[in-house]
Structure 1
Amino acid sequence: MTMPDPSRRAILAGGAGALALTGAARAAPSPFGPSGAPSWGPDGLQAAASAKGLAYGTAVPITRFRSDPRWRAVAARECGILVCDNVMKFDVAAPHPGVLDFSGADETVRFARGNGQRLRGHCLVWHEALPAWAQAALAAKSPAGAELLLRQWIGAMARRYAGTIEAWDVVNEILSPADGRPDGLRATPWLAALGPGYVDLAFRMMKEADPAAAGTWNENDCEQQADWIDERRVAILKTLEGLLRRGVPIDRFGIQAHLLSTLPLDQTRLRRFLREIAGMGLAIEITELDVDDRAFPADIAARDRGVADLARRFLDTVLDEAAVLNVLSWDVYDPDTWLNASPARRRPDGMPQRALPFDVEYRRKPLWRAMHRAFRDAPDHRAARARLRAKV
């Protein structure tokens, strides 16, 4: 039987146990190469962002990345920071017990390093993207076993990329006040197996594996205006205060920014929310920006204006805040947006969403121009942002 290339798959040492990830995770050495000269062009989004101490970047869809040199050229020219969209998630990296597949993540890391780009890690703990075998292990109702699984999964992924990742999304979408818990936490397999302390554990485990990486809580639905979003913001601030009071090593809060054309944007309330987070000493990242254009007209020009206007008003607000370090869109290329695959997000007229900065021909859209102007016109917070980056 042909054995897989160790650069593609890392075998987990130790005998098989109830969780199938027993023993220490020993990844085969996988050099990612030295950091190259910055690849971004002088007229791109990263160039405009970096002049204000910011980094602009994108999520990397591995299939498109591998198959389309035009996509790679845009990412190199426009971006100063990259994040994997799926290949660092648990179900992709460990679809079967006992073996971790780092191939897609390794390719992305090599590309970023070769282009002098920063990297984010996404995501270590999420209620989705759990392989079936891990779900079964968590359902076994063994807190000790669940903690071992969490420690070995975080250790395997974070240690492999230690020294290359600027910030890890340690926990992702952990809040759901609608689930009815007094603490606002979402009912998830991790919560059921370990209780609310799983969040603290995850941050501490990540810092043990990669002390130089910033620990980020990445959360959705906290940007726009609705009663239920107000409730989420209150719960977020309360949870952050608790994490800091307990000495949990959290460094940043990630705002996904999947903006909705169906909801208003109250810039005053958003600015107040950002300032409260910054006042806790935390940095802020915009991690998954795109614009759901369902409520905008079918006419392409009118729709693009609506998308660009909403994104510009959002960015004008968040870029006023010196604690904001990074702005990443969830891909750059319209045909790849996840919104078209989501039944809840599809346009009523069936037309594809125009959610991202580049169209089907890789042309810069009004959204690109709105983002570029927002970066260009933002206050210069380079000194404050440099202090926050150095704080980790």
Structure 2
Amino acid sequence: MKINRREVIAGGLAAAASAVVRGAPLAASAGDRRNGYGAAVTLADLQSDVRLKDAVTRYCTQIVPVYELKWPTVRPDAHTFSFAKADGLLDFARQNGLTMRGHNLVWYADLPAWTKEIKDAPTAERTLRDHIATVVSYYRGKLTSWDVVNEAIPDFPKRPTERRPSLWQNLLGDSYIRTAFRAAADADPDVQLVLNDYDIESVGERFAARRAALRNLVSDLLDTGTPINAVGLQSHLHGEIEIDTDGLARCVAEFRSWGLDVIVTELDVDDRFLPASVTERDAIVAKRVNDVLSTITSQAPLRSILTWGISDGYSWISQMFPRPDHLPNRPLPLDADFQPKPFMDVITKVTREAA
């Protein structure tokens, strides 16, 4: 998924990220929550680390489950639904004055073993409808937003109409996406319904192809009367690749012109190819984040920003994409000791401007 490093960052980049690279970060002296900001968390991590709980309740106004609403957790077999872990996160949110998003209803990956027994279109459609109706109805009125379909665009689409192969795509074609949104809307007419995808923010042929495919899919959903409310930009950014601010701005403007909201759902920065220097690296990470968020907010406020985790100590990037020099990754707003970084200062700036 990653593209080789294409630039050497000059020393002046630190200033471009923000003046807070030097001295005490803004976030360190601001205990108020960032309106509209949230983070992905797991119930187990919240229960085992009070620092994580304190960080989420200090900085966030919303959370989203990492695993607790995905199929293997919520539906361990074809006939059983288990909401205990997701309910635990919802209880945490309510007890601390936070809201919660739902992630996700349909994804090509991370399906339980029992779904391998689905071999025909009628069974696939019935299973999908039943799952969405049950889960969304259970949380009706309790969640603010659902990632209905997650990552429907292939990694490098050869044409805008191409969709990612999956159990659902293979048996139902593109209709599975429309079916999913309609089932979710039937189960909760008031919740925000989101099409969620990644890698449309950066410079390069692959990212442009993904923007074109996402545009095509959104346009098709709207043309067919599918009840979609928003596009979620995951924003798993590549530290070594610049943001295509022009391409991103055009994409976001078009979605908004079609009456859709645009939200950021899984923000972090893969820093494995960035310099070893913490100061320089943090500045580059903050600049990538600032370029994305400033581009999106240049036309209209961004009401929802979620990072995929809040502390470097709980990042999937550290596990999946370790640095070649074996230094700790620094992809999130707080470091492994829960100290704020320039990344958090960008979040603070953007959320205060939107307030």
Partner Cα distance (1:375, 1:170) in 2: 25
2:340 — aligned with what? 364
Would the aligned equivalents of 2:263 and 2:303 in 1 still touch at CA under 8 Å? yes
- Taking structure 1 as the reference length, the TM-score comes to 0.80
Q: Does 1:222 align with 2:215?
A: no
The equivalent position to 1:206 in structure 2, one of 157, 180, 184, is: 184
2:10 — aligned with what? none
Partner Cα distance (1:59, 1:75) in 2: 9
2:237 — aligned with what? 259
1:123 — aligned with what? 104
Shift of 1:331: 0.7
1:43 — aligned with what? 30
Would the aligned equivalents of 1:243 and 1:250 in 2 still touch at CA under 8 Å? yes
1:318 — aligned with what? 296
Shift of 1:59: 0.5
Q: Does 1:90 align with 2:66?
A: no
Would the aligned equivalents of 1:257 and 1:290 in 2 still touch at CA under 8 Å? yes
Shift of 1:280: 0.6
Query: 174-183 vs 324-333, which deviates more?
Result: 174-183
SS of residue matched to 2:349: helix
Would the aligned equivalents of 1:282 and 1:323 in 2 still touch at CA under 8 Å? no
2:92 — aligned with what? 111
Partner Cα distance (1:45, 1:171) in 2: 33
Shift of 1:169: 0.3
2:210 — aligned with what? 232
Partner Cα distance (2:278, 2:160) in 1: 45
SS of residue matched to 1:295: coil
Cα deviation, 1:84-138, whole Å, max 9, x if unaligned, reads 011100012122332222121001111112222222100000001100101322x
Partner Cα distance (1:173, 1:317) in 2: 22
Change in 2 beyond 3 A, CA 1:235/1:123: same
The one-letter amino acid of 1:167's match is: S
Partner Cα distance (2:328, 2:64) in 1: 24
Shift of 1:320: 2.0
The one-letter amino acid of 2:30's match is: D
Would the aligned equivalents of 1:179 and 1:187 in 2 still touch at CA under 8 Å? no
Would the aligned equivalents of 2:106 and 2:150 in 1 still touch at CA under 8 Å? yes
The equivalent position to 1:339 in structure 2, one of 302, 312, 317, is: 317
1:283 — aligned with what? 261
Cα deviation, 1:365-384, whole Å, max 9, x if unaligned, reads 222123212333x3x5x6xx
SS of residue matched to 1:124: strand
Cα deviation, 1:159-215, whole Å, max 9, x if unaligned, reads 111101111000000011746576221111111121210000000001111111111
Partner Cα distance (1:260, 1:44) in 2: 29
Q: Does 1:375 align with 2:347?
A: no
Partner Cα distance (2:90, 2:188) in 1: 16
Q: Does 1:354 align with 2:330?
A: yes
Partner Cα distance (2:339, 2:215) in 1: 39
Percent identity, please. Answer: 34
Would the aligned equivalents of 1:177 and 1:185 in 2 still touch at CA under 8 Å? no
Mark the runs of 5 or more structure 2 residues left unpaired by the alignment. Answer: 1-27
1:71 — aligned with what? 52
Change in 2 beyond 3 A, CA 1:82/1:208: same
Shift of 1:83: 0.6
SS of residue matched to 2:81: strand
The one-letter amino acid of 1:114's match is: Q
Shift of 1:324: 3.1
Would the aligned equivalents of 1:45 and 1:56 in 2 still touch at CA under 8 Å? no
> Which of structure 1's runs of 4+ aligned residues deviate more than 3 A?
44-47, 177-182
1:329 — aligned with what? 307
Would the aligned equivalents of 2:159 and 2:209 in 1 still touch at CA under 8 Å? no
Cα RMSD for the two superposed structures: 1.9
The one-letter amino acid of 1:350's match is: H
2:21 — aligned with what? none
Mark the runs of 5 or more structure 1 residues left unpaired by the alignment. Answer: 1-40, 383-392
Partner Cα distance (2:301, 2:207) in 1: 22
Would the aligned equivalents of 1:173 and 1:219 in 2 still touch at CA under 8 Å? yes
Would the aligned equivalents of 1:61 and 1:331 in 2 still touch at CA under 8 Å? no
The one-letter amino acid of 1:56's match is: Y
Partner Cα distance (2:228, 2:116) in 1: 26
The one-letter amino acid of 1:187's match is: P
Shift of 1:262: 2.4
Q: Does 1:158 align with 2:142?
A: no
Would the aligned equivalents of 2:39 and 2:308 in 1 still touch at CA under 8 Å? yes
1:21 — aligned with what? none
2:220 — aligned with what? 242
Would the aligned equivalents of 1:334 and 1:355 in 2 still touch at CA under 8 Å? yes
Partner Cα distance (1:274, 1:178) in 2: 20
Cα deviation, 1:137-170, whole Å, max 9, x if unaligned, reads 2xx1x21111110011111211111101111000
Greater relative contact order (CA < 8 Å, ≥ 6 in sequence): 2
Partner Cα distance (2:75, 2:312) in 1: 29
Shift of 1:329: 0.4
Partner Cα distance (2:104, 2:41) in 1: 13
1:388 — aligned with what? none
2:6 — aligned with what? none
Pairwise mapping of residues 11-26 of structure 1 onto structure 2 (< 5 A)?
A: none
Would the aligned equivalents of 2:160 and 2:212 in 1 still touch at CA under 8 Å? no
